[in-house]
Structure 1
């Protein structure tokens, strides 16, 4: 019921309606196991089953582990220039709550790489200690020659690091293919490096590494240097609530860094992860995971392909005729939706990266195929490209869902923050005046009367506050029988879902691409029959995505 001191019969009818939420909680995009190739898909499913985690979390963990190694084995082809290569490195972002088992998915997916690196680094440290002991009895002028036999640290995975540390290591002769993996994405998006001028510099370095432009450090003191032919993969996990404000930052979006990330925001399985007797029995790892590990180990043991400077010198993965046609048809579908009235116009920076991301993912799949099924060459097949586009469509639907559900204006953000302030002590703010609020609210709204006025007006318009008799009244909590259930985040009356059409779309496109090798006109007709996620307006308040 409405809180004390309000006569319900005296209020206008519209003020008894449920408050309007600030965000719509659209259902997560369904994860398709077929968006990963044989071996990777089975491992992702088995890992998700073993640790009882969302399938998308396990899928992204497997994709990152394979991509980490693949980036040093082959370059992706630039879609518009078959003779020019680019990195197949991937930037991945998974948003999941604490306790959703992000870290365990990553540990299992990357185990062969982590184990091999631990052994190599321990051996490197022991060798360093032996060389230093040898230096102890020698003249200082001979130390440099002795230590030259040490070689660079074999480290390739950074978990607790800064971009400064990574760039410094690169310029000092580190391995030329690295990954930055962390389940503390909030430290990256909300840390000191992402403030002010530091953010601009950091994003510039990361985008250059992503694009394959190399790295350069210019310092007045020591530490300057440059290096080409290096690769960097990103795998960040974070809690949605922690990084929400950072992901809404206009600088992050406009600079293009976020647009390079493939996104996953799966629903939590908390409350359904019950343990059976079989789960508690020792049974070792599932055979799908063991088979995946063997392939990943073979990839990781393959020789590094470097030039005389220690930089990567990689072949370009070619595309089959069918793969080329699939890419073209899918790219044109995205392009059609980037028009001002298109469904992807609101996230154009993200959608514009779809073609490049699909080329990178397809290359990772092609490299995996070489080691898992024994392919003789690095050719992206039609299946590689079809699955890559399925995964890219999954990501773009997640970005679309994320920003459709959470994009708020400045006034709406102030109003939402004010509502959260009031709801922390609902009894205290059941009934108050504007002057009382102005004296006690947080400093930003206390000091800026106009912002405070607009925030209050927004809450009144959304029916979170009712103004009556010279006082403001906070709405909530409400008894179930009253028929009003206020909530800051609500699901629309018709459940808003992204019904996953990308499997059918890309499968049909693959068939179309094959046929188009002989009949180009037919391919264009079939391409027109496919669509991206479409928004249907059912009613003023009801939405559905199909």
Structure 2
């Protein structure tokens, strides 16, 4: 005689419709590779093929490298007569295992090599500099002794004849991965006036002291000032306030989706205008599709495209910085837009202005849309200088059009990503289990032990209490029933606690 549980298994009973576990994000648009130009676009496509990553992921790494290389040499002169930095602030959202590190390593290879060369050069100079300082100190002591009895004017003349004490060479740092904001400012005082705050482990930055409750506003305001090209302010108890002019920063953080909401969904960051300065991309993961034919010959075009980009990047990053030798303040050249490019820029700005009004489709990202014409001009300037060099006289309409095309891509990403909070990890795990129950588990009942022993690989690492939390979430969202009274049979074994599956099997 069939048991009640068996009769329920066989019956076509009405189940509640399962509720979504996590908010779904709409699929992003294709990255407009053609707008990057020949050298940069070919490099992005080559890295995308070589590493098997989405073009948007490769593009953000390549653009950050280009921005870091170009930013010391030029400002872009907007049609509003404002000279603005060309520095880009980028954020790439991708899962663990999506090959963020490999992509970034290839895109910034020449920057890393130049930093290593500078470190070796700095080590060789240390002994020589120490000797020069010692000689200067000795000469100063002798000059003061000889002029001491001749009065103040003689002392002043002796010191003037001696000249300034030998200055320490710039600290051989080009990119900073993580650290406090005060540490970044200190780097600007002693290192190059053009730096990159760049990391393929952006979670360390998000969880670091710089974004703690006590420091987050200072961090965000400092980064925003750097994006704007304002002087960097350093405050110390002993030395008071120091203003560092002519500094430039490129920003690129690669973070996981589970953490992205802590940045993109933060109302305070949005209110402070920090999100409006970020160009964010979250391409769809290619995990599970990256199959390789080991017998297939390597495409030489991939290596050629990357080598061509590397040569150009090395040429720019190693050029002499246009700066004041004493203050180390950069003196970038202001590049205007051609008359036709200005017309295109104003048309784009007016379009966005209409769309951010009450009832407009961009009202929710008003701050970002307001800054987008400037972002388009910055991108256009980076592309133009990378391809043609800092000696160009103006940004042509064709290059500005490319900047606008890329800006529109980042606008679509902002619309779908900004304001979305990080998903709860339990709900993320619950979705993984639900998909597995729907597609792979062939029975109608499930238990804690069955999930621990035969569930998805990442879930098997959870302990029994964590799996019970996941099950509780599935019950609350009607993916599982309440616990079966009296237990049931799971995989041929009687268990005291089990749940009926209420998501439809594939």
* TM-score (structure 1 length as normaliser): 0.70
Q: Does 1:336 align with 2:354?
A: yes
Displacement of 1:283 in angstroms is 6.2
- Specify the alignment match of 2:262 in structure 1: 245
The offset of 1:419, in angstroms, is: 7.0
Q: Specify whether residues 278 and 107 from structure 1 end up closer, same or farther in structure 2 by C-alpha distance, changes over 3 A only.
A: farther
Aligned match for 1:350, one of 344, 364, 368: 368
- Structure 1 counterpart SS, 2:196: strand
Q: CA deviation at 1:280?
A: 7.4
How many residue pairs match? The answer is 444
Verify the 8 A CA contact 1:56 1:266 in the aligned structure 2: yes
> Per-residue deviation at 1:206?
0.7
Aligned equivalents of 1:417, 1:43: Cα separation in 2: 35
Decide which moves more: 155-164 or 145-154.
145-154
Tell me, in whole angstroms, the C-alpha distance in 1 between the residues paired with 2:54 and 2:355.
30
Question: 1:343: Cα distance to partner?
Answer: 1.7
**Residue pair 2:22, 2:428 contacting (<8 A) in 1 also:** no
Q: Specify the alignment match of 1:209 in structure 2.
A: 226
Gaps spanning 5+ residues in structure 2: where? 142-161, 435-445, 450-464, 467-471, 486-496
TM-fit CA distance, 1:123: 0.6
In the other structure, the counterpart of 2:412 is 397
CA gap of 1:402–1:299, structure 2 versus 1, over 3 A, is same
Question: What is the distance in 2 between the residues matched to 1:180 and 1:6?
Answer: 63
Correspondence for 1:435: none
User: Residue 342 of structure 2 is aligned with which of 321, 324, 334?
Assistant: 324
Q: TM-score, normalised by structure 2?
A: 0.76
How well do the aligned residues superpose, as a CA RMSD in angstroms?
4.1
Distance 1:357 1:60 in 2: 14
Which protein has the larger Cα radius of gyration, Structure 1 or Structure 2? 2
**Over residues 218-268 of structure 1, what are the superposed CA-to-partner deviations in whole Å (9 max), with x where a residue is unaligned?**
121357522111111101101111332343221122111122110111111
- Distance 1:166-1:280 versus aligned 2 partners, 3 A rule: farther
Q: Quote the offset at 1:314 in angstroms.
A: 1.8
Unpaired runs of 5+ residues, structure 1, are: 430-440, 443-455, 484-546
**SS at 1:317's partner residue?**
strand
Q: CA deviation at 1:11?
A: 12
Q: 2:447·2:498 contact (CA, 8 Å) conserved in 1? A: no
Instruction: String of CA shifts for 1:270-291, please: whole Å, max 9, x gaps.
Output: 2222223366769696212222
In 2: Cα distance, 1:168 partner to 1:287 partner: 39
Aligned-partner Cα distance in 2 for 1:415–1:165: 36
270-279 or 351-360, larger mean C-alpha shift: 270-279
Instruction: Give the aligned partner of residue 235 of structure 1.
Output: 252
The equivalences for 1:290-309 within 5 A come to 290-307=307-324, 309=327
Change (3 A) 1:283 1:257: same
Match of residue 92 from structure 2:
94
1:343-422 superposed matches below 5 A = 343-371=361-389, 377-403=392-418, 406=420
Task: Identify which of 262, 269, 288 aligns with 1:271.
Answer: 288
Say if 2:62 is the partner of 1:62. Answer: yes
With over 3 angstroms needed to count, the CA separation of the structure-2 counterparts of 1:304 and 1:126, relative to structure 1, is same
Distance 2:500 2:232 in 1: 55
Moved more, 294-303 or 251-260: 294-303
What displacement does 1:128 show? Answer: 0.8
3-state secondary structure, aligned to 1:353? helix
After TM superposition, the structure 1 stretch with the greater mean CA deviation from structure 2, 154-163 or 88-97, is 154-163
For residues 391 and 182 of structure 2, what CA distance do their matches in structure 1 show?
Answer: 40
1: CA distance between counterparts of 2:294 and 2:271?
Answer: 51
C-alpha displacement at 1:403, in angstroms? 4.1
**Counterpart in 1 of 2:331?**
313
2:106 — aligned with what?
A: 108
Q: Secondary structure in 1 aligned to 2:126?
A: helix
The 1:320–1:125 alpha-carbon spacing in structure 2 relative to 1, beyond 3 Å, is: same
- Deviation for aligned residue 1:39: 1.0
Residue 388 of structure 1: how far off its partner (Å): 0.9
* SS of residue paired to 2:43: helix
- For residues 154-200 of structure 1, the C-alpha deviation after alignment (integer angstroms, 9 at most, x for no partner) is 32211243322110122x34321111110111122222221223101
1:44-97 alpha-carbon deviations (Å, 9 max, x no partner): 111111222211111111111111111111101234x22x31111100000111
